């Protein structure tokens, strides 16, 4: 039987891909992938790349077409996710084969850029991805600070449209944030990985002026996303302290150049470490005028939110 290397074309392909991802990523709950099928508009047949050997699905890659902000405009790109091989077929080059096919398809569909998250950077370097080093700031707020009456938990009905506007205006100033239309925003709230318990909004004159989406880890609370119309330093500090209070954590972590605003304050002690989890591949150097990722995404002007992971 001839190998099949191409997109999913049937419901059986989707179920087989789900079974493969569930087996290849045992630490990730199966319903994480199921919810993506249901609520992420990018998870379509044509974006699920498969390799079948003798009829058995042995490897798969998901491409999620999205757009990001870059130099004040929007740029299409392909997010790479769920790169996987069945445990019985490892170390035969199957993942690389499917990944190369996915890259060919993205180029044919005129995506000038691809992006992924990983902790096995050398593997992806072999197919042209480059690591974009980032700084992670860890703020230690020490003794429990007092709560801020201007901050409350996000309420979808009251706050959604204003927060969406803040996100768009704030993101446009940077390189890297993803563009979100209303469909994408709403899909995030349906995905189980996105909860609103630590989604905080700050008010001035009875209107939202800044927000923060947090996630609680074992030792820290992580800032997954932030946006403000003005006074970024003041709002980031107030919302970060409130996140520390509500999560019962002393330390708050942020992987974005905005963490430098913490360092300028005397309200916390700040440690800095390097993050190498984001990689890009420039698929069309003519589009950008360069094939160097760090030229496109200078560290001081670049941010990417964990809420947009794929």
Cα 88 to chain center, whole Å?
30
Task: Report the 10 Å Cβ neighbour count for 235.
Answer: 23
Model pLDDT for residues 35-61, shown as the tens digit of each residue: 888 888 888 999 999 999 999 999 999
Q: What is the rounded distance in angstroms from the CA atom of residue 286 to the CA atom of residue 110?
A: 12
Mean pLDDT score of the chain? 93
What the block records as the tokens of 73 is 């405009």
Per-residue confidence (pLDDT) for residue 71, from 0 to 100: 95
Q: Does domain 4-133+276-308 have CATH number 3.40.228.10?
A: no
Examine the pLDDT at 27 and tell me if it is beyond 80.
Answer: yes
Mean pLDDT of 257-284: 94
Q: Do 41 and 79 contact (CB within 8 A), yes or no? A: no
The domain 136-274 is classified under which CATH number: 3.40.720.10, 3.40.1130.10, 3.40.50.300, 3.40.630.30?
A: 3.40.630.30
Enumerate the domain spans of the chain.
4-133+276-308, 136-274
Per-residue confidence (pLDDT) for residue 301, from 0 to 100: 94
Model pLDDT for residues 84-133, shown as the tens digit of each residue: 999 999 989 999 999 999 999 999 999 999 999 999 999 999 999 999 99
The percent of residues above 90 in pLDDT, for the chain, comes to: 80
Per-residue confidence (pLDDT) for residue 147, from 0 to 100: 75
Mean pLDDT of 14-21: 96
């Amino acid at each position: 039987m001839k190998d099949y290397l191409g997109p999913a074309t049937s419901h059986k392909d989707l179920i087989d891909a789900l079974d493969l991802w569930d087996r290849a990523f045992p630490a990730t709950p199966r319903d994480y992938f199921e919810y993506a099928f249901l609520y992420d508009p990018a998870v379509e047949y044509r974006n699920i790349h498969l390799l079948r050997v003798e009829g058995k699905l042995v490897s798969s890659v998901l491409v999620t077409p999205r757009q990001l902000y870059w130099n004040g405009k929007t740029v299409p790109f392909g997010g790479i996710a769920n790169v996987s091989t069945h445990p019985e077929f490892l170390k035969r080059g199957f993942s690389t084969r499917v990944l190369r096919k996915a890259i060919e398809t993205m180029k044919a569909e005129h995506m000038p850029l691809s992006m992924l998250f990983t902790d096995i950077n050398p593997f992806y370097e072999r197919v042209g991805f480059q690591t974009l080093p980032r700084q992670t700031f860890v703020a230690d707020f020490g003794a429990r600070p007092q709560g801020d009456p201007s901050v409350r938990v996000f309420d979808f009905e009251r706050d959604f449209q204003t927060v969406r506007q803040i996100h768009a205006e704030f993101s446009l100033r940077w390189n890297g944030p993803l563009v979100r239309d209303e469909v994408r925003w709403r899909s995030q709230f349906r995905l189980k990985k996105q909860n609103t318990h630590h989604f905080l909004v700050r008010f001035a004159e009875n209107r939202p002026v800044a927000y923060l989406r947090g996630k609680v880890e074992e030792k820290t609370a992580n800032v997954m996303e932030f946006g403000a119309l003005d006074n970024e330093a003041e709002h980031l500090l107030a919302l970060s302290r409130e996140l520390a209070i509500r999560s019962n954590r002393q330390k708050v972590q942020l992987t974005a150049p905005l963490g430098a605003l913490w360092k300028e304050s005397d309200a916390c002690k700040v440690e800095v470490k390097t993050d190498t989890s984001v990689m890009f591949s420039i698929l069309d150097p003519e589009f950008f005028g360069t094939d160097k990722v760090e030229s496109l995404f200078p560290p001081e002007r670049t941010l990417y939110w964990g809420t947009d992971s794929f």
